Structure 1
Amino acid sequence: MRCYWDEEDTWFYFEVDVDGWVIRQVELAGPELTPITAASLAERQRARDEGHLDECDSRFGTTAELPVSEWEGHDPEQLTAEEFEEVWGPARRRIEARPD
């Protein structure tokens, strides 16, 4: 799913599990659609277990902390898995290519 927050000129893309929890999230900002987040819940959990969650979060951002059923004021557009992947892959590569 995706939604647009016009106050920040940011597109949010979400992959959610069957219970509505965000498992991957992408945020693209401004007219250039600059990736500012490409976070994976599983990756964050591994980073937490390995003791480097802060490093992971500072590089890739975080995922939403509530299931989508609890969000207020959002009317997300549904996407296919393929449409999400078309956004995830390039956003992730651009963030990974940034210098630390």
Structure 2
Amino acid sequence: MRCYWDEEDIWFYLEVDDEDWVIRQVELEGPERTPIAAASLAEWRRAQETGRLATYESSFGITTERPVSEGEDHDPEPLTCDEFEQVWNTARRLIADRPS
């Protein structure tokens, strides 16, 4: 799904599990839709276990820490898996290519 937060001009693209927990999240900011986050819950957990959490979060951000169904008012738009994957892959590539 995707949701728009107009106060910050950010699009949130979310992949959720059966219980509405976010497992991957992309955030695109501004009219250029610049990726500012592309986080995976599984990767975040691995980074935490290996002591690399700060590095992971500074590069890729974090996922929402509660089920989407408990979130603020939003009007989610459904996406296909292919649509999400395209946004995910593009955001990850652009974030990975940024100078440190």
Q: State the TM-score bracket (shorter-chain normalisation).
A: over 0.9
**What does 1:6-25 correspond to in 2, within 5 Å?**
6-25=6-25
Distance 1:3 1:68 in 2: 11
1:61 aligned to 2:36? no
Which deviations, in whole Å up to 9, do the C-alpha atoms of 1:29-66 show, x marking residues without a partner?
01111000000000000000000101100100000000
Aligned-partner SS, 1:46: helix
Please tell me the root mean square deviation across aligned C-alpha atoms, in Å: 0.6
TM-score by length of 1: 0.97
Code of the residue aligned with 2:90 in structure 1: it is P
| Displacement over 6 Å in runs of 4+ | none
1:78 is aligned to 2:90 = no
Aligned length: 100
Aligned to 2:39: 39
Deviations along 1:55-98, whole A, 9 cap, x unmatched?
Answer: 10010000000001111211211111111011000000000001
Name the structure 1 match of 2:92.
92
- The percent identity for this pair of structures is 66
Q: In terms of mean alpha carbon deviation, does 67-76 or 45-54 score higher?
A: 67-76
Flag structure 2 segments of 5+ consecutive residues without an equivalent.
none
Gaps of 5+ in 1: none
